[in-house]
Amino acid sequence: MRLVPDGILREKAKKIGKIPITLKQYTADMVETMHAENGVGLAANQVGSLQKVAVIQLPDWDEPMVLINPEIVRREGEREVEEGCLSIPGYRGTVKRSERVRARALDLNGKVVRIRAEGLLAQALEHETDHLNGILYIDRLVSQDTLHRIGYEPSSEGSGAGASEDAESEPAHPRQE
Which positions are annotated as active-site residues? 128
Minimum CB–partner distance for residue 29 and Ni ion (Å): 17
Q: Which stretch binds Ni ion (CB under 5 A): 65-73, 82-90, 144-152, 159-167?
A: 82-90
Q: Which of 83, 126, 130, 177 is the binder for Ni ion (CB under 5 A)?
A: 177
Q: Is 34 in the site for Ni ion (CB under 5 A)?
A: no
Instruction: Tell which residue, 55, 106, 98, 53, has the closest CA to residue 74.
Output: 98
**9 near Ni ion (CB under 5 A):** no
H or E segment and range at residue 35: helix 23-36
Judged by CB under 5 A, the stretch of 28-36, 78-86, 118-126, 150-158 that binds Ni ion is 78-86
Applying CB under 5 A, among 85, 101, 115, 121 the residue interacting with Ni ion is 85
Cα–Cα distance, 85 to 138 (Å, whole number): 9
> Three-state DSSP class for 94?
strand
Contact 122, 99 (CB under 8 A): yes
Residue 31: CB minimum distance to Ni ion, A: 15
Quick one: which segment of 58-66, 77-85, 106-114, 159-167 binds Ni ion (CB under 5 A)? 77-85
Question: What minimum distance in Å lies between the beta carbon of 86 and Ni ion?
Answer: 6
C-beta neighbour count of 104 within 10 angstroms = 15
Beta bridge partners of 79: 97
Cβ count within 10 A of residue 5: 9
Interface ranges with Ni ion (CB under 5 A): 85, 177
